[in-house]
A and B are shown apart, each in its own frame.
Chain A
Amino acid sequence: DVKVTQSSRYLVKRTGEKVFLECVQDMDHENMFWYRQDPGLGLRLIYFSYDVKMKEKGDIPEGYSVSREKKERFSLILESASTNQTSMYLCASSDGGTSGNTIYFGEGSWLTVV
């Protein structure tokens, strides 16, 4: 089975802290994604990456950056956490090629910024 692992399920951080959310997939997928999920808003794409060291902005990239130094790992960085970044963050990955390929999700990381 494909496994997408997010390193932390629950985090509490202070305003202004630098926050790293880590994601690892074990299926050699080219594409990796970071989504944010908020009640009533569904899932919104923050960033995605289609290859090592390649990244593209999604719908809501402001306040976030990403890093993909190795194919299996995709990190989301909050340079200076703010309370409006309190949310559920979901990492996902998929094979390249056709867009019909399934996107597999991790279990999510709940981030609270106080």
Chain B
Amino acid sequence: AQTVTQSQPEMSVQEAETVTLSCTYDTSESDYYLFWYKQPPSRQMILVIRQEAYKQQNATENRFSVNFQKAAKSFSLKISDSQLGDAAMYFCAYRGNYGGSQGNLIFGKGTKLSVKP
């Protein structure tokens, strides 16, 4: 079975600085998707970034980028120029490429990010 591990329960960053959140996963599949979701205090889960396993190029979305190391099964999230609004729980998630009928997301336990002004 696939598993997702986030080894940092909490992280803290100074406003305008850069922070990296770690995520490792375990799978025997070769084709899958990885996601980072953000959950602010409002509890609305918001997709931050997505990575297809077959793509070697790391995904980026504005200030958010990933370091995807397929062989190491590592998928870290880098937040540049951190802002107060980035404070939230961040979840790493895995989804196998099962097709339409399955493809459930498997989540890590989350990392709580605090941003200091």
Contacts and interface: CB of A to CB of B under 8 A. Distances in A.
A50 B95 contact: no
Contact of A102 (B50, B52, B99, B109): B50
The 5 closest A-B pairs by CB, nearest first: A99-B103, A96-B100, A105-B45, A42-B109, A50-B101
Contacts of A48: 104
The range of chain A's interface size is: 20 to 34
A98 B99 contact: yes
B95 A43 contact: no
Nearest to A103: B105
Nearest to B52: A100
A25 interface: no
A97 B99 contact: yes
Contacts of A88: 43
Interface of B: 32-33, 37, 42-47, 50, 52, 91, 95-105, 107-110
A15 B82 CA distance: 44
Given A96-B100, A104-B47, 17 more contacts: A31-B100, A31-B103, A42-B108, A44-B107, A48-B104, A50-B102, A88-B43, A92-B105, A96-B101, A99-B97, A99-B103, A100-B33, A103-B47, A103-B105, A105-B37, A105-B44, A105-B45
A99 B110 contact: no
10 contacts: A33-B105, A42-B110, A99-B32, A99-B95, A100-B95, A105-B44, A105-B45, A106-B44, A107-B42, A108-B44
